[in-house]
Amino acid sequence: MKVLLLGGTRDAINIAHALLALNESGVQHIELIYSIAGIVRQPKINCAIHTGGFSQFSTGAVSSASQLGMKRFIQQNNIDNVVDATHPYAVTISKNASIVCELLNIPFFKYVRPAWLATDDDNWVEVNNWAEAKKAIYPFKRPFITIGRIANHDVNSIPKHQYWIIRSAIEASHTQDRYCLIKAIGPFLKEQEIELLKTHQIDVVVCKNSGGSAVDGKLSAARELNLPVIMLSRPETGRSYGNLYDNERDLIKAIR
């Protein structure tokens, strides 16, 4: 069985190791291709790794390049199953993969890690998008923002009374008059996050509900320091996934 695993997350790496373990145990032979966008660390997995997305394989219109490229990649590599274990906010790649698998009539398995839930000791304000998040942080002076590239591209709109501290896995660290960009890739320990929040005198945290079984370092730090958290809710994909799992073991059993 040949499996294309759309990764870039810790969950995807765990799933990859579990699938490869089936080979070692003799339960089933699986030829795995692990795909990442190329902006995260290269995983240490004993399988073929594809980087750079799928648009590079397309010869069609730019608007549909990712879908056409993925379709061509799947056909050329004789893929039997596609497993999507990308980030919960990577809506585009998930939607494209679902559409392509439906067109090719091959199984599509979607893994979505459980969302985090606020406790009685948390002070969360849930918002639906970045525009709502900006309104929510307006009363504060030094927000710590960890929601990806969208904040990086909006630094020209920083209010005069604010100084943003933005953490990103993509762009290089640099400091400007109105913001500081920190390039770093997690996971981060609670103690590291507490030090960062104190050093930069953070008064509010902005993040996505990435979820997972592990307690997030910055949320634990915010809780301990009694800081409010502006939490971006998970986006809607606009599609329903039949083979949807929030447990890695159940997913592996289904693929077998």
CA distance 109 to 125: 32
The answer to whether 229 and 123 have CB atoms below 8 angstroms apart is yes
Nearest Cα neighbor of 223 from 122, 115, 119 is 122
- To the question of domain 124-232 being in CATH 3.30.390.10, the answer is no
What pLDDT is stored for residue 242 in this prediction?
A: 75
Rg (CA), the chain: 20
**Fold of the CATH domain 2-114+236-255:** Rossmann fold (3.40.50)
Eight-state DSSP code of residue 60: S
Contacts (Cβ under 8 Å, ≥6 apart) of 228: 123, 124, 125, 140, 204, 205, 222
DSSP helix/strand/coil, 48? strand
- CATH 3.40.50.720 segments of the chain: 2-114+236-255, 124-232
CA distance 94 to 99: 9
Give the pair of three-digit tokens for residue 106. Answer: 């091959």
Eight-state DSSP code of residue 223: H
Q: What string of pLDDT tens digits covers the 256 residues of the chain?
A: 999 999 998 899 999 999 999 988 877 889 999 999 866 667 889 999 999 888 877 776 555 788 899 999 999 999 999 999 999 998 889 999 999 999 999 999 999 988 999 999 999 999 999 999 999 999 999 999 999 888 888 898 999 999 999 998 777 777 788 999 998 887 899 999 999 999 999 999 999 999 986 668 999 999 999 999 999 999 876 666 778 899 999 999 998 7
Give the pair of three-digit tokens for residue 55. Answer: 């648009």
Dihedral class, residue 174 (left if φ above 0, else alpha if ψ from -120 to 50, else beta): beta
Contacts (Cβ under 8 Å, ≥6 apart) of 165: 142, 143, 144, 145, 179, 180, 182, 200, 202
What pLDDT is stored for residue 150 in this prediction?
A: 84
My answer on whether omega of the bond before 187 falls inside 30° of 0, hence cis, is yes
CA distance 83 to 15: 9
CA distance 213 to 70: 30
What pLDDT is stored for residue 54 in this prediction?
A: 87
What pLDDT is stored for residue 165 in this prediction?
A: 96
